[in-house]
Structure 1
Amino acid sequence: MAKATPEDLPSGPTTLRVMIGSNLRRLREAADISREEAGEEIRGSASKISRVELGRVSFRLRDVRDLMIMYGVQDEEEIERYVDMAREANQPSRWHRYTDFLPDWFSNYLDMEGAASMIRTYEVQVMPGLLQSEAYARAVMMLGYGHTPLTEIDKRIEVRMKRREVLDREEKRPELWAVLDEAALHRPFGGAAVMRSQIQSLLDFCDKPNVRIQIVPFTSGAHSGAGAPFTWLRFAYEELNDVIYLEHLTGGLYLERDNEIDAYQAAMEHLCVQATQPNKTQDFLQRVLREHYS
């Protein structure tokens, strides 16, 4: 396995677990060892090995050492490096302070979003979370969590605003490519004043070199992504496969199989063809402002 410096490692324990698990799987397969055999070595099962290799569980440091030795790694420095990485992957996420209301499935997504080199997202009814203004986010939160204490609403908005920091960080800044259905511009969350500030925020985002926004106009008719928002994450690490993220009312779904990725990639490319070209987006947004929110 190629050595990685701390600066090369992905941010967030979720993506680090996935990277370590992927490398352990490659070592196991290269050694022609089955999951059942590996499970016995660490007093576990094939299903435990599967969870470890998928990055779904935290690591027992002893297991990492024992597996690497079983797989034929003899370099003690290399073993210790992976034990140290596993120890780091077991640390709480930067989102840990919000665990009183932030479910694990979404905390994991936030880790992956923060480690992605490319984020492509399609939304139908609402603005993408990374592009929401604070006032718009509050209007959305009040609709979805109207009976929740205001202190929790404030924390949820704080999380949403912190997510946007990845777009302005100095290093490993991701490319964001967002495609919005025109309906998202006309659904007046919070009223006209909130929508004006939100659309102005989109105009400001259009000036960022790492942000691209396209609008699928009503005039395009039906299209391949109709009614199905999704996010496609790509990473700058060969050990991390692309991920398609689908969110529903009670959880999130992660798709990682090649055929699934290919299907959503094709849908995204088709949406981009039907949408306004990025250099026309600001004109489109200005027209919506004039005609609907002046």
Structure 2
Amino acid sequence: MSAGESWGSSQTLSPGGGSVVRRILLGSQLRRLRESRGITREAAGYSIRASESKISRMELGRVSFKARDVEDLLTLYGVADDAERESLLGLAREANLAGWWHSYGDVLPGWFQTYVGLEGAASLIRVYEVQFVHGLLQTEAYAHAVVTRGNPKASPAEIDRRVALRLERQKVLVSENAPQLHAVLDEAALRRPYGDRSVMRGQLQHLIEVSEQPNVTLQVMPFDFGGHAGESGAFTLLRFPESDLSDLVYLEQLTSALYLDKAEEVAQYETVMRELQGESPDGPGSRDVLRGLLQLT
């Protein structure tokens, strides 16, 4: 996590991606306790036979937690209340639970595992896409075409695994605690063909149908609008049900990803998202755009 200093704590957490969020929450709590006692990371690391960098990774939620390490740190930080200690130790146990996506570790890069967990824990997901349809909205056939194009050396079995992972992610949209999804797709993403005509027709029809789900808002930024606010490219904004957890911007790169949670940076992306939403046709209008593209495909 590139800027985890503002992540806070809470008691209620969503299932699915909860282990990732719990890790971040526990790390943030430990950082606050350490700073309130005026203890350096170096001193904290010495107390658990670890380096200063290990403490930094723990406080940013980048690593799993050993119960003994948490116990020793709590003692160092002067946390003597049994209830408070047990609460934090319980958080550590829950933070170490494996998410469903761990079974896809053979095809899931480590840097993307964090995002999958956060996506599953979010209450609001806002995305802008320009290259292709967002993964949560792809049909199986379209996903297969995208994954094949992006992994030309992969075996058929690996392609199938990657597609299965993407379809598994989509279940969050119909889960008991389904998030609100607000997606703005550039028309370029809808005109760029992946697969044959039947694949693209099926994808466009799927977008029309899924856009009518109560928790999904889908807008299309049409070519004829001209230049618009999304000039920096695709991005995702995540919001969580925990009030102490700040909004997060996810920027995917070729071999890694950036996670931004500094308030001023998030605010700039939120401004761009609001402008994209305001400049694009509304839900019914965007469905008309999709129907028009369907007739041309």
Q: Select the residue among 274, 284, 289 that pairs with 1:284.
A: 289
Note closer, same or farther for the CA distance 1:228–1:42 as it changes in structure 2 (3 Å cut): same
Q: Select the residue among 187, 201, 214 that pairs with 2:219.
A: 214
2-structure distance, mates of 1:256, 1:123: 20
2-structure distance, mates of 1:116, 1:46: 31
What is the letter of the counterpart of residue 201 of structure 1?
H
Tell me whether 1:162 sits opposite 2:161 in the alignment: no
Tell me whether 1:4 sits opposite 2:33 in the alignment: no
Tell me whether 1:117 sits opposite 2:123 in the alignment: yes
Structure 1 residue 191, shift from structure 2 partner: 1.9
Moved more, 46-55 or 147-156: 46-55
Q: Select the residue among 193, 198, 219 that pairs with 1:193.
A: 198
What is the letter of the counterpart of residue 253 of structure 1?
L
1:67: which partner in 2?
Answer: 73
Corresponding residue SS for 1:213: strand
TM-score calculated relative to the size of structure 1: 0.92
1:145: which partner in 2?
Answer: 151
2:264: which partner in 1?
Answer: 259
2-structure distance, mates of 1:182, 1:160: 22
Corresponding residue SS for 2:233: coil
Moved more, 23-32 or 101-110: 23-32
What is the letter of the counterpart of residue 135 of structure 2?
G
Note closer, same or farther for the CA distance 1:8–1:193 as it changes in structure 2 (3 Å cut): closer
Q: Select the residue among 95, 99, 109 that pairs with 1:103.
A: 109
Q: Select the residue among 91, 99, 123 that pairs with 2:97.
A: 91
Conserved? CA contact 2:122–2:239, under 8 Å: yes
What is the letter of the counterpart of residue 134 of structure 2?
P
Count of aligned residue pairs for this structure pair: 290
Q: Per-residue displacement from partner, 1:120-154 (whole Å, max 9, x unpaired)?
A: 11000200000000011011111111221101101
Q: Select the residue among 178, 187, 195 that pairs with 1:182.
A: 187
Corresponding residue SS for 1:56: coil
Tell me whether 1:28 sits opposite 2:34 in the alignment: yes
Moved more, 122-131 or 14-23: 14-23
Structure 1 residue 281, shift from structure 2 partner: 1.7
1-structure distance, mates of 2:254, 2:41: 35
2-structure distance, mates of 1:75, 1:254: 34
TM-score calculated relative to the size of structure 2: 0.91
Conserved? CA contact 1:9–1:16, under 8 Å: no
Structure 1 residue 38, shift from structure 2 partner: 2.5
Structure 1 residue 3, shift from structure 2 partner: 7.5
Note closer, same or farther for the CA distance 1:8–1:26 as it changes in structure 2 (3 Å cut): farther
Structure 1 residue 189, shift from structure 2 partner: 0.9
1-structure distance, mates of 2:258, 2:9: 31
Higher relative contact order (CA 8 A, sep 6+): 2
Mark the runs of 5 or more structure 2 residues left unpaired by the alignment: 1-7
What is the letter of the counterpart of residue 17 of structure 1?
R
Structure 1 residue 239, shift from structure 2 partner: 3.8
Note closer, same or farther for the CA distance 1:2–1:143 as it changes in structure 2 (3 Å cut): closer
Mark the runs of 5 or more structure 1 residues left unpaired by the alignment: none
Identical residues among aligned pairs (%): 47
Structure 1 residue 218, shift from structure 2 partner: 0.7
Corresponding residue SS for 1:95: helix
Note closer, same or farther for the CA distance 1:70–1:63 as it changes in structure 2 (3 Å cut): same
Note closer, same or farther for the CA distance 1:152–1:245 as it changes in structure 2 (3 Å cut): same
What is the letter of the counterpart of residue 278 of structure 2?
V
Q: Per-residue displacement from partner, 1:22-50 (whole Å, max 9, x unpaired)?
A: 12222233334333333333233433222
Conserved? CA contact 1:199–1:289, under 8 Å: yes
Structure 1 residue 67, shift from structure 2 partner: 1.8
Tell me whether 1:132 sits opposite 2:142 in the alignment: no
Note closer, same or farther for the CA distance 1:206–1:221 as it changes in structure 2 (3 Å cut): same
2-structure distance, mates of 1:12, 1:20: 12
Tell me whether 1:275 sits opposite 2:280 in the alignment: yes
Tell me whether 1:17 sits opposite 2:23 in the alignment: yes
Q: Per-residue displacement from partner, 1:236-284 (whole Å, max 9, x unpaired)?
A: 1134322211112212221222222122111111211221122322122
Corresponding residue SS for 2:100: coil
Conserved? CA contact 1:127–1:184, under 8 Å: yes
